[in-house]
A and B are shown apart, each in its own frame.
Chain A
Amino acid sequence: MIVEYAWIIPLLPAIAFLLIVLFGKGRKEGGGYIAVSLIGTSMILSLLTIAEVVLTGKGYESTGINWLGIKGFQFGLLVDQLSSIMLFVVSVIGFVIIVYSLGYMKGDHDVQRYYAEMSLFIASMLALVISSNLVLFFIAWEFVGLSSYLLIGFWYRKPSAASAAKKAFLVTRVGDIMLLAGIIILYINLGTVNIRELFVLAPHANVGMLTLATLLIFGGAVGKSSQFPLHVWLPDAMEGPTTVSALIHAATMVTAGIFLVARVYPLFTPESLMVVAWIGGITALMAAAMAVVMTDIKRVIAYSTISHLGFMTVALGVGGYFAGIFHLFNHSFFKALLFLCAGAVIHATHTQDIHDMGGLWKKMPITGTAFFIGAWSLSGFPPWSGFWSKDVILDNVYAYNHVLFAITAGAVILSAVYIFRLFIIVFMGKEGKATKHAHEVSRVMTTPLIALSIGALFSGFLVFFGLKSFLMKSLPGNLVGALDKASAISAGTHEYITYFSISLVAIGIITVWAVYSLKIVEARSIRHTFSPIHTILINKFYIDHIYLFISKKIIWNISVIVDYIDEYFVDGTVNGIGKLSIAFGRKLRKLQTGVVQDYAAWVLFGTGIILIIFKAKGGMI
């Protein structure tokens, strides 16, 4: 019923975009209320839609309109269980963040453009989620990329922001081209781009072709979801406003790649899934290692996002369809929460360097608590949401491959390390120099924090309410059985893995606590006054040294190497291609000498060449 009108959901933010562009100019809040009201309505509609999908247990696919008048390009809607979960994430978090923006962006002189671009983003993201065929999906995907580009470069007068926007655009384009190529291959071989029809045709298709096509599609996901080796744009994308980072570069857009893989999941072959799994695992570990050494509050969270996207990818790769989407769902709450907290902190301290912060808990209790909740959930320590999804992921990975399991477990321990390191340095300990004049942010900003905290705490419990069987309905029936069989492990092993992961997280937290929290206590006074206890503290200092040794000498070096590869190899290639084409263009221009006889010579020369081609092709004369 309502689900048939799902096309209104993306339409409303699009209308908001137009209204803000046209009429937002004179208003002081720059059309923020237009955005809030229309996106709010859109959220209510999507909640109703989801409710209907949950209650009836059925998805809905519209027949669609024939946009170009060609066979196979019916543009329609597909609202099934998977898209309703994504719809929920996008509309709810989008709405919460737009509300938060009312406070955060207040006073920015270009706030109209901000709301316009945010509305455009939300509209295209919602359209992406409910599109029933890959071409419409791709168009929405490009619009998502475009609005992300605009928003990263929102403060375009800052050179770093402008170059970050360009970098994001270029790097994700690499993935986009692969995605397009994948879609084209599917269309050539199967004659349709409709997702449901593809599912029907896929089992009879050539496996090699499917592997190639799905790998190319995964290439698109690698670009958008910032997986190795195309992850380089995401940390730089933090140049945009923090709300943008929270919405686009944590909760929604970067998960579009994961959603894409899940959307066409039945097309993936075991070979391509293996690539997906290993890319995900490598990304998860590598990004987590890098998060440990960062000192910019947003960059730590950015690397953490990459790492968690890696978790989702590895989960999908090992056959954990539910695990990946479940983690996506949970992650979007706690990561958006962490970003908004970081935004509040930056708003209050006017710096992003964590060593200038410290002791913020007392000044900003609500933000501190919210951050603590987010960190707890992210670290995967029970009982909050991150724990549940991480638990399923580890189970699935263990059933798939033990080496990959070790890698993932390593990433889990590092997750706990970096997030509590961040928490302790920013919120505990003595006051940093930027902390002095900080104070709690306004109500309009703390309310969204509280809302998201609730999500971050409890979203994981949905697993007890049939989330898995609900989600699995969006896959063809035979695939569900196969997946369950492949990832099955005995109950004993499951418990073992759960305890193992809890202890991993605990070790991580204790290490951080010992190093960052207790060291400070020691350093300030105890060492000089109480020499008997000093020896005991030396042990702690010793742990600190071990940790320092590990972090400085090993992890640091690895991170430096990774960073080096990042900067010179991956970046270099991307920039190099750009530079090369411009240099090529520069040379090419010189052909044009400006002398008309030279042009005439080219004409005659060209005629000769055509004659030669003709002869070579025809073999006549």
Chain B
Amino acid sequence: MVLEHFYPEIIIAFFAFATLFIDITLKKDHKDFLGYFSLAGIALALISVIVQSISTMASYSAGKEVQVVFFNGMIYNDIFAMFFKVVFLVVALFVVLASVDYTRKDNYKGEYYSLILFATFGMMLVAMAGNLILLFVSLELASISTYALTAFRKNKANTEAAMKYFIIGALSSGIILFGMSILYGVTGTTNIYEIAKIIPHVKDSFNSALILSVVLLIAGFGYKIAAFPFHMWAPDAYQGAPSTISAFLAAATKKMGFVAIIRILVIALPLYVSEWGVIFGVLGVLTMTVGNFSALKQTNIKRMLAYSSIAQAGYIIAAIAVISSTIPNVKYLAVAAALLHILTHALMKGGAFIAVAGVSLLGIGTEIKNYRGLGKRMPVTAMALTIFLLSLAGIPFFAGFISKFLILAATVEARGIYIWLGIFLVINSVVSIYYYGRVIKYMYFEDFQGDKLKEPKLIATSLVVLAFLVVLIGIAPQKFVHFSMYAAASLFSHGHGVVMLH
């Protein structure tokens, strides 16, 4: 049966609709139930994805063939897709868990949770899409849901953030769509894997149209992944959005751009690999530099985290650039490194924003100077935030170090000019320590007279679990590296049922 391969998606879609319906039946002060309800759905879906990926990996290593292509090439449910689904679902899980505390006093909870579920559903489809139409539709499903979520509270900050996010998003949708239409026009198909086969035989007169489409696709997805100079919306949107939604945007929605662009570039456009390799190299260096240096003097912690996530995206973009290396097997390492950094970044950035949500919930605000003495006032939150920040800075034995190290290893393995990417990565990491350390300094090394606050329980729980995961990946990364290696290998197997691990 085909459907058994799509339990996670079915569960999420079902719960998304069910949340809307149950919302109607509930009294106003019982709406928190919706949070727990959607939490259950996400947890179920997450479990089934994990079970699915473990069994798929097991059959791969046993040499058994696995069905990957569904619905005439509309969907590619490979480990690459599963990896991203795990990332999205983990983020959604913790965002929803934290949201129960964070939105306790808000109205429209039914819409809030079902929008999160719809966005998650859209992102999961993006991860699996083997067809440009499905890719675009599910991309928009996720995007439109998050536009609405950003404006959730409808105050000044929310609406301004949503407006900027929406307008730049719509512009980029137009750009992506234009690129896709040309790609279709030249090749006559919207299947990503078919396109790859047709492009080498395209007439020379279409070459310039093809190049235009590649450029438009890179630019359009550049907005999603917040690459320089398409990153401008990100700080404003992340700062203005409700903090839990900032976590969702930075940790999950942004990664959706990565899955789409990796699949399109690697699968459909390998012919232009040297060109997009250069572009991603340049974009990566610019993005990490702009992100890090802009973060140096920020006074608002959400804005600082936003710039930091731009910088981190720069590291991932640099890793994608390494895919263009001609040395055998380096591209596997590069994709695996990018994937692992996507995972670790989702955990640590999501955690950091959730911590910010917890702090702002208690009326402390989002200015860094208000974090004075937080180590004494909110010990759990402060400790978890410290772990996330150290991990973001790339301190060893935290998750961020492992993935950053893999990216560095990939640039080094690729040799030649790629090493410069590694050098920029290292320099940028050094710069970033300054602004991460500043927050830690405020929390622990600045005097402040204030009462110990009662930390919101669910937020604290999700922080503890996330911090544990960050430390776990930092200390025992083998399983996770393995997973990302398999995901990379399955990406390059082009939909074949058998994967060899390199």
Task: Please report A residues at the B interface, Cβ cutoff 8 Å.
Answer: 66-70, 139, 142-143, 146, 153, 156-157, 173, 177, 180-181, 184, 187-188, 578, 581-582, 584-586, 588-589, 591-592, 594, 596, 598-600, 602-603, 605-607, 609-611, 613-615, 617-618, 620-621
Contacts and interface: CB of A to CB of B under 8 A. Distances in A.
Contact of B279 (A180, A588, A591, A614): A614
A616 to B, nearest CB: 9
B190 to A, nearest CB: 22
Contact of A582 (B297, B423, B430, B447): B297
Given A68-B481, A599-B168, A618-B211, A606 B412 contact: no
Highest count of chain B CB atoms <10 Å: which of A142, A157, A184, A621: A184
A610 B272 contact: no
Contact of B275 (A66, A596, A614): A614
Given A156-B445, A617-B275, A599 B478 contact: no
B230 A588 contact: no
Given A184-B422, A592-B232, A610-B219, A177 B430 contact: yes
A607 B219 CA distance: 5
B211 A614 contact: yes
A607 B175 contact: yes
B446 to A, nearest CB: 9
A618 B233 CA distance: 30
B295 interface: yes
A589 B294 contact: yes
Contacts of A606: 219, 222, 228-230
B402 A603 contact: no
A69 B230 contact: no
Interface in B260-280: 272, 274-275, 278-279
A621 B214 CA distance: 13
B164 interface: yes
A180 B426 contact: yes
B215 A588 contact: no
A611 B218 CA distance: 10
B236 to A, nearest CB: 7
Given A600-B167, A603-B171, A606-B222, A69 B478 contact: yes
Highest count of chain B CB atoms <10 Å: which of A173, A184, A585, A618: A585
Interface of B is mostly: helix
Contacts of B445: 153, 156
B13 interface: no
A418 B434 CA distance: 38
A589 to B, nearest CB: 5
Interface string B476-502: 011001100100000000000000000
Contact of A611 (B215, B223, B395): B215
A429 B171 CA distance: 83
A339 to B, nearest CB: 26
Give the 5 A-B CB pairs with smallest separation, nearest first: A585-B296, A599-B232, A607-B219, A585-B293, A606-B229
B230 A602 contact: yes
A143 B296 CA distance: 24
B338 interface: no
Contacts of A70: 333, 406, 409, 481
B177 interface: no
Interface residues of B, number: 66
Interface of B: 163-164, 167-168, 171-172, 175, 207-208, 211-212, 214-216, 218-219, 222-223, 228-230, 232-233, 235-236, 272, 274-275, 278-279, 282-283, 290, 292-298, 333, 395-397, 402, 405-406, 408-409, 412, 415, 419, 422-423, 426-427, 430-431, 434, 445, 447, 477-478, 481-482, 485
B368 to A, nearest CB: 15
A589 B297 contact: yes
A618 B275 contact: yes
Given A139-B396, A143-B396, A599-B233, A614 B406 contact: no
A607 B171 contact: no
B396 A620 contact: no
Contacts of A67: 477-478
Contacts of B233: 596, 599
Highest count of chain A CB atoms <10 Å: which of B223, B232, B396, B485: B232
Given A582-B296, A585-B295, A599-B232, A184 B279 contact: no
B492 to A, nearest CB: 18
B485 A69 contact: yes
Highest count of chain A CB atoms <10 Å: which of B172, B293, B412, B427: B293
A181 B423 CA distance: 8
Nearest to A609: B229
Given A585-B297, A599-B164, A610 B215 contact: yes
A620 B207 contact: yes
Contacts of B419: 184, 188
B484 to A, nearest CB: 10
A24 B274 CA distance: 57
B223 A596 contact: no
A188 B406 CA distance: 14
Nearest to A621: B208
Contact of A614 (B214, B397, B427, B430): B214
Given A66-B478, A588-B294, A589-B298, 7 more contacts: A177-B427, A184-B412, A188-B419, A581-B293, A585-B296, A610-B222, A618-B274
Contacts of A181: 423, 426
Nearest to B209: A621
10 contacts: A187-B412, A585-B293, A594-B236, A596-B167, A599-B164, A599-B233, A600-B171, A603-B172, A603-B223, A610-B279
